[in-house]
Amino acid sequence: MENIKVGLLGFGTIGTGVAKTLLQQQSLLQAKTGVTLELAKIADIDISTQRDVNIDASVLTTDAHEILNDPKIQIVVELIGGYEPARSFILQALRNGKHVVTANKALLAVHAKEIFETAIQHHVDVGFEASVGGGIPIIRAIREGLVANNFTEIYGILNGTTNYILTEMTEKGEPFDQVLRQAQELGLAEADPGFDIEGIDAAHKTAILTYLAFGQHIALEQIFIRGISNLQTMDIKFAAELGYKIKLLALIKQNNHAVEARVHPTMLPVDHLLAKVDGSFNAVYVVGDIVDSTMFYGRGAGMMPTASAVVGDIVDIARNIVKGISNKIPLLPAPQEASRYTVQAPDRFRSGYYLRFTVIDRYGVFSKISGILAEHKISIASVIQKEVHPVNSVPVIMLTYEAPEHAMQQAVEEIDRLDLITDKTVLIRVL
Amino acid sequence: MENIKVGLLGFGTIGTGVAKTLLQQQSLLQAKTGVTLELAKIADIDISTQRDVNIDASVLTTDAHEILNDPKIQIVVELIGGYEPARSFILQALRNGKHVVTANKALLAVHAKEIFETAIQHHVDVGFEASVGGGIPIIRAIREGLVANNFTEIYGILNGTTNYILTEMTEKGEPFDQVLRQAQELGLAEADPGFDIEGIDAAHKTAILTYLAFGQHIALEQIFIRGISNLQTMDIKFAAELGYKIKLLALIKQNNHAVEARVHPTMLPVDHLLAKVDGSFNAVYVVGDIVDSTMFYGRGAGMMPTASAVVGDIVDIARNIVKGISNKIPLLPAPQEASRYTVQAPDRFRSGYYLRFTVIDRYGVFSKISGILAEHKISIASVIQKEVHPVNSVPVIMLTYEAPEHAMQQAVEEIDRLDLITDKTVLIRVL
């Protein structure tokens, strides 16, 4: 049986999972591809720490170039993460005629075009299923299964760490900082959790999905991004009383060929399927003009689920190698496709809102707030006054009808300047 | 731009949807494939009825052989349904070197092997994404995205008609016959609804998924099949009181390489994601040893969702034609793969059970029932006596722990012979 040699760059959690999968599933993968996928080399700066997989010392190296320059290695798997040296390594591998599989969403969010152009130029493929939604084959669904559709909406839970934190905050009523610490102890949040909790990781994935669905390279500055670090348990509780659950959603919408992209905590009706997606699971709705709504659910992160996606890509490339082809699925959008869409400014979207004002409980406050909202053409759907504060100020909760984000931001800014308002107004977008 | 000619066999609902999609999405499909997908010919015995799409009369024919024997047509789409002439037409198309796309689950459930072998022999492809789960790209997920996995379970809602009926029965409390009639009036159930309501359609799809996941051709007799036509609203109500919802589930499980396949009404905990899948939607869980749980959701039937899957397959084949390849994804299981698994007899599975006994309310009945269950080593988890009947007999409800199906059937048969039992015992399997 023919061998196809695979080289791994990065022997961290995902790298270990990929090595385990290639070894453990060897006969399955032979049956599926007709070739042997040989784990030929693994490069990492740390090759002394024992991983949870038995790898011959001769396979390990600290020098990535032993993989990048080995003419016998046909598939390079980049699992280093971050921008450099990952980008340079990938480009070098492609230029050396090697196919690349990567899980690197931060890199693809910014450099997809350069990487894909280089791959096409050198007649090799890039597999990146693991970059969005972990083990969920969402990228394949958008590029292949649902290819007959113009997409109207893609939205869902794309970050497992924040979904775990929100689930714990909701179920246990514990504050953000405490739950984050627990998540870090459990290995479910990184020591430096900024990318996850501030919505950057979900925004990277949003950029990749936007590129795939609409051929639009979207800069992070074009995505409206809010994280979960300021979320208070009080609002999670009030949301529950109103029949909502709060999830960090990524939302991409296309309306008359204008594309909006955003990531923010979102109130979902409790009976929405996404409201049932808890813990570190991810789920993405993909809505197309032909297929209507579809939804894809699975583990969005973790050693083995991510390895499932990476090895799925390795198999796809191996099957291409067997057939002697590359670039069967176009990596770049056709020019006529990309030119159909424009990207909307990040605060131009419309949403319903949950507002929590902290007010001094006295006559007149409601008329002032509703006056400012009316000036900005924002209609109030309901008002709930809560009597929970021990001190002089009370929370007043409002749900509004759909309004433009920029109008809402201006209105809240004006409201927060009122003397009657004793704390910054909390604003959560409602699906 | 190069043309690839497509011929349609069958101009019913799905055929109309495919024609609409090919015309309406022409520029999108050009961008995705680099070729023009030309709807060259449509064959149907009825070409006089006006469909909801504008087709030139010269494209229509009543003679399928005008498509099957046209050397310029490269892709034949079979949407006739049923066994003959669909099977003969497909085999002829393949032998004439044409790629085939089909949505025909009944045919594939029985003749997949013959069709796939013929395709391989003639170096052409068969696309059949639309045969399971309508617009949901579930077949692609199993054959490609999740290819790194040994599957342990595949289960879900695979029939939209029965799911619509069960949803209506649950929400409105109306009896089966009445809801079926409404569904027929709405076009959501066929005039002859047997295949849907007796679970045969779901069993066909179960056979296809079993073949894909385990390489096992499974006969309908090897699938345990129960439909929904005997379901009573009383049991739906009692299930709700106990925290369950009843759905017609298809379940494929693999345990130590023994594969079991079944289709039956199933009680699901209300907080299970599948319990939220209502109306004509389908959803399938796919569980693998590497990826853990994944779930795929979307419209399981209907003109346009099914067309989305069919056209997705047409695009895939067009991309293969452009690259000059076929059979990139193996249509047949590798011999070493198929030989790993065996198919279990249909009543050998284990399940928890909901039992509703109709008993004469007198002393001694409970000890007799529990005695028989104990003899068959079936453990009772809980008992609820309902006081709703106006006459002399009352329903007694039991939930049992997991037990073998054949033991349960024997026990119920013995129980139903008791004098104290005045009606056939209702038995619903619990997930």
- Domain match, A272 and A420 both: no
* Residue A75 three-state SS: strand
Where in B228-291 does DSSP place strands (E)?
Answer: 244-255, 258-269, 281-288
Contacts of A25 in chain B (CB under 8 A): 148-150, 290
Tell me if B334 and A27 make a contact (CB, 8 A cut-off).
no
Residue A151 is assigned to a structural domain of this protein: yes
Tell me if A291 and B323 make a contact (CB, 8 A cut-off).
no
Closest partner residue to B328 among A293, A312, A323, by Cβ? A323
A345-370: average pLDDT: 89
Token code pair at residue A90:
């990938």
Closest partner residue to A146 among B273, B312, B329, by Cβ? B312
pLDDT higher than 90, residue B2: yes
B63-71: average pLDDT: 98
- Domain match, A157 and A250 both: yes
Which residues are A36's β-sheet partners? A3
| Minimal CA separation from A26 to chain B, in Å | 9
- A127/A146 Cα distance (integer angstroms): 18
Q: Check residue B190 and give its pLDDT.
A: 87
Q: Which residue of A has its CA nearest to B322?
A: A328
Measured in whole angstroms, the distance separating CA A262 from the mean position of its chain's CA atoms is 11
For residues B182 and B212, the answer to whether their CB atoms sit within 8 Å is: no
- A121/B133 Cα distance (integer angstroms): 38
Residue A48 is assigned to a structural domain of this protein: yes
For residues A56 and A80, the answer to whether their CB atoms sit within 8 Å is: no
Task: From A86, A65, A66, A83, select the one nearest A15 (Cα to Cα).
Answer: A86
Residue A341 is assigned to a structural domain of this protein: no
pLDDT higher than 90, residue B393: no
User: In terms of DSSP bridges, do strands B258-269 and B421-430 run parallel, antiparallel, or are they unpaired?
Assistant: parallel
For residues B160 and A324, the answer to whether their CB atoms sit within 8 Å is: no
Q: Which residue of B has its CA nearest to A130?
A: B145
Residue A345 is assigned to a structural domain of this protein: no
Residue B341 is assigned to a structural domain of this protein: no
Task: From B410, B369, B25, B40, select the one nearest A148 (Cα to Cα).
Answer: B25
Q: Which residue of B has its CA nearest to A276?
A: B273
DSSP A216-235: ----GGGSEE--STT--HHH
Residue B339 is assigned to a structural domain of this protein: no
Which parts of B176-327 fold into alpha helices (H)? 176-185, 194-197, 200-214, 233-241, 303-323
Which run of H or of E encompasses A22? helix A13-24
DSSP 8-state code for residue A297: E
Q: Residue B371's pLDDT band (boundaries 50, 70, 90)? A: very high
Query: Rounded mean pLDDT of chain B?
Result: 95
B261-269: average pLDDT: 98
Q: Check residue A387 and give its pLDDT.
A: 65
| Domain count within chain B | 3
Q: Residue B389's pLDDT band (boundaries 50, 70, 90)? A: low
Structural domain containing residue A412: 350-430
- A367/A373 Cα distance (integer angstroms): 10
pLDDT higher than 60, residue A357: yes
Residue B356 is assigned to a structural domain of this protein: yes
Amino acid occupying residue B152: T
Q: What percent of chain A has pLDDT over 90?
A: 90
pLDDT higher than 90, residue A390: no
Contacts of B325 in chain A (CB under 8 A): 323-325, 328
Contacts of A53 (CB under 8 A, 6+ apart): A16, A19, A20, A23
Residue B35, number of CB atoms within 10 A of its CB: 17
CATH of the domain at A370: 3.30.70.260
Tell me if B308 and A290 make a contact (CB, 8 A cut-off).
yes
Q: Residue A364's pLDDT band (boundaries 50, 70, 90)? A: confident
Tell me if A291 and B273 make a contact (CB, 8 A cut-off).
no
CB pairs < 8 Å spanning A and B: 204
pLDDT tens digit sequence for A51-95: 999 999 999 999 999 999 999 999 999 999 999 999 999 999 999
Closest partner residue to A307 among B32, B140, B290, by Cβ? B290
Residue position matching structure tokens 């406050």: A365
pLDDT tens digit sequence for B142-168: 999 999 999 999 999 999 999 999 999
- Domain match, A119 and A55 both: yes
Say which residue, B223 or A388, is predicted with more confidence. Answer: B223
- Domain match, A54 and A155 both: no
Q: Check residue B420 and give its pLDDT.
A: 87
Residue position matching structure tokens 């129980």: B415
Closest partner residue to B140 among A145, A149, A323, by Cβ? A145
- Domain match, B210 and B126 both: no
Token code pair at residue A183:
């998540």
Tell me if A141 and B146 make a contact (CB, 8 A cut-off).
no
Tell me if B148 and A28 make a contact (CB, 8 A cut-off).
yes
DSSP B411-429: HHHHHHTSTTEEEEEEEEE
- Domain match, B312 and B249 both: no
- A245/B96 Cα distance (integer angstroms): 57
> Cα(first)–Cα(last) distance of chain B, in Å?
53
Q: Check residue B191 and give its pLDDT.
A: 87
For residues A204 and A106, the answer to whether their CB atoms sit within 8 Å is: yes
- Domain match, B126 and B215 both: no
DSSP A172-205: H---HHHHHHHHHHTTSS-SS-HHHHTTHHHHHH
Q: Check residue B1 and give its pLDDT.
A: 84
Contacts of B144 in chain A (CB under 8 A): 137, 140, 312, 315-316
Tell me if A291 and B135 make a contact (CB, 8 A cut-off).
yes
Contacts of A311 in chain B (CB under 8 A): 147-148, 290
Tell me if A308 and B148 make a contact (CB, 8 A cut-off).
yes
Q: Check residue A363 and give its pLDDT.
A: 65
pLDDT tens digit sequence for A243-258: 999 999 999 999 999 9
Closest partner residue to A148 among B141, B308, B325, by Cβ? B308
- B310/B15 Cα distance (integer angstroms): 10
Closest partner residue to B325 among A34, A149, A325, by Cβ? A325
Where in B30-172 does DSSP place strands (E)?
Answer: 36-43, 60-61, 73-78, 99-102, 126-127, 151-157
A216-231: average pLDDT: 96
Q: Which of B98, B105, B205, B253 is catalytic?
A: B205
Query: Rounded mean pLDDT of chain A?
Result: 95
Contacts of A323 in chain B (CB under 8 A): 323, 325, 328
Q: Check residue B366 and give its pLDDT.
A: 84
- Domain match, B36 and B79 both: yes
CATH of the domain at B43: 3.40.50.720
The Cα-based distances of B10 to A33, B51, B78, B239 in angstroms read 35, 12, 7, 42
Residue B362 is assigned to a structural domain of this protein: yes
Q: Residue A191's pLDDT band (boundaries 50, 70, 90)? A: confident
Residue position matching structure tokens 């749900």: A399
Q: Check residue A76 and give its pLDDT.
A: 98
Q: Which residue of A has its CA nearest to B129?
A: A145
- Domain match, B165 and B77 both: no
CA angle in degrees (0–180, nearest 5) for A306-A310-A313: 145
B326-333: average pLDDT: 96
* Residue A293 three-state SS: strand
B266-294: average pLDDT: 97
Q: Check residue B29 and give its pLDDT.
A: 98
pLDDT tens digit sequence for A309-320: 999 999 999 999
Which run of H or of E encompasses B13? helix B13-24
Q: Check residue A391 and give its pLDDT.
A: 64
pLDDT tens digit sequence for A292-306: 999 999 999 899 999
- Domain match, A87 and A163 both: no
Task: From A241, A250, A243, select the one nearest A275 (Cα to Cα).
Answer: A243
Torsion of CA B406, B407, B413, B417, to 10 degrees: 170
* Residue B393 three-state SS: strand
pLDDT tens digit sequence for B99-113: 999 999 999 999 999
Half-sphere exposure of A202 (CA within 13 A, CB side): 36
CATH of the domain at A159: 3.30.360.10
Q: Residue A389's pLDDT band (boundaries 50, 70, 90)? A: low
Q: Check residue A176 and give its pLDDT.
A: 97
- Domain match, A203 and A106 both: no
A313-328: average pLDDT: 98
Say which residue, A242 or B360, is predicted with more confidence. Answer: A242
- B50/B289 Cα distance (integer angstroms): 50
Q: What percent of chain B has pLDDT over 70?
A: 98
> Is A20 marked active-site?
no
A110-127: average pLDDT: 98
- A321/B325 Cα distance (integer angstroms): 12
CA angle in degrees (0–180, nearest 5) for B228-B234-B235: 55
Mutant choice from B290, B296, B328 vs A, greatest count of A C-beta within 10 A: B290
Q: Which of A20, A41, A105, A205 is catalytic?
A: A205
Task: Give me the interface pTM, i.e. the ipTM.
Answer: 0.96
Q: Check residue B324 and give its pLDDT.
A: 97
- Domain match, B187 and B240 both: yes
B45-67: average pLDDT: 96
B315-330: average pLDDT: 97
Tell me if the bond preceding A175 is cis, omega within 30° of 0.
Answer: no
DSSP B97-133: T-EEEE--HHHHHHHHHHHHHHHHHTT--EE-GGGSS
Mutant choice from A20, A147, A316 vs B, greatest count of B C-beta within 10 A: A147
